[in-house]
Amino acid sequence: MFSLAKILLPVDFSQRAIGAARYAKALSEQYGAEVTMLHIIPPPHYEFASMEAGSTALAELYVNRKAVIEEESRNFLVSELPDFKPKRLLLEGDPAREVVRYAHDEGYSLIVMPTHGYGPFRRFVLGSVTAKVLHDADCPVWTGVHLEGAPPVEQIRFNTVLCAVDLGPQSEKTLAWAAQFACAAKAKLVIAHATPSLEGRTGEYFDPDWRLYLAKQAAERLAELQAQAGTKAETIVEAGDAPHVVEAAAKQVAADVVVIGRGSASGVFGRLRANAYSIIRQSPCPVVSV
């Protein structure tokens, strides 16, 4: 049986964090989850790098800053979500590392946090803390660039879940999570896959049947995945760049959330595949990376 027993909500007291909190509250009401609102206080050298380490002035500034943060934590969301009663926790350390460590050590089912989704440029940038959490977290991470514009909790619905798979080793786990989430929410499940766009250059021979062959292979593999997951979902298979295919599919089916997988390969992108960042940036709705 699908369960979201514990949700971790890292916050920085911003408008984006308020939007994330709305989703965390909606999820907690849907699944009966316990929510912990977590703020990480960076070490003194993070915020006061220009001051000499170990100085009395630095220590005093840090103590004063900590007192202000404690007050912010007590008051955050009280007026915005008056009936929301999360556990409130402050920890000290590197923000991304502490979020991942705490989620792992305490067995959280889901992390809900925003990206730097504000302004005409930052909308396309993943915040460094969020990127590191996506890279390292063991549990699924719910995020998105539009969370600051989240609707009121009572208007949040999970009617349609779009699961985007690349047919790699992580696809079975990704589809299983998406299917269980959709079933528990009584939502419609749709599966999307992007096949390579094989456009021949000028004067270069290009076999048009190759695109049909790739689509056929993808359809067969999707049927296998659905048999394993016990689903009979609608599928969308389109040729093109994966982020654009997923974005178009999410708009086409009016998805309320997109579910994608994280790989296990090492390298620059670690466990988060290269396309995942772009999918998160371009998605019209929140994205869960599993």
pLDDT per position in the chain (290 positions), as tens?
688 999 999 999 998 999 999 999 999 999 999 999 999 998 875 555 555 555 666 567 667 788 889 999 999 999 999 999 999 999 999 999 999 999 999 999 999 998 864 443 333 345 688 989 999 999 999 999 888 889 999 999 999 999 999 998 889 999 999 999 999 999 999 999 999 876 544 445 556 677 788 889 999 999 999 999 999 999 999 999 999 999 999 999 999 999 999 864 433 333 455 688 899 999 999 999 99
Indicate if 86 and 120 belong to the same structural domain: yes
Task: Please state the φ and ψ torsions of residue 188, each to the nearest 5 degrees.
Answer: -80, 135
Indicate if 5 and 121 belong to the same structural domain: yes
Tell me how many domains the chain contains: 2
CA distance linking residue 164 with residue 189, whole number of Å: 11
The CATH number that applies at residue 124 is: 3.40.50.620
Give the pLDDT confidence score for residue 59 in this predicted structure.
66
Give the pLDDT confidence score for residue 125 in this predicted structure.
44
Indicate if 170 and 85 belong to the same structural domain: no
Give the pLDDT confidence score for residue 273 in this predicted structure.
58
Show the domain range for 177.
157-290
Indicate if 47 and 9 belong to the same structural domain: yes
Indicate if 141 and 182 belong to the same structural domain: no
Indicate if 151 and 207 belong to the same structural domain: no
* pTM of the entire predicted model: 0.86
Q: Which residues pair with 194 in a beta bridge?
A: 238
Indicate if 145 and 18 belong to the same structural domain: yes
Indicate if 150 and 216 belong to the same structural domain: no
Indicate if 2 and 136 belong to the same structural domain: yes
Indicate if 147 and 165 belong to the same structural domain: no
Q: Report whether 10 contacts 40 (CB < 8 A).
A: yes
CA distance linking residue 246 with residue 242, whole number of Å: 6
Give the pLDDT confidence score for residue 268 in this predicted structure.
33
Of the three residues 156, 187, 204, the one that is the final residue of a domain is 156
Give the pLDDT confidence score for residue 196 in this predicted structure.
83
Tokens of 284: 């019209």
Indicate if 92 and 168 belong to the same structural domain: no
Indicate if 54 and 164 belong to the same structural domain: no
Q: Which residues pair with 235 in a beta bridge?
A: 191
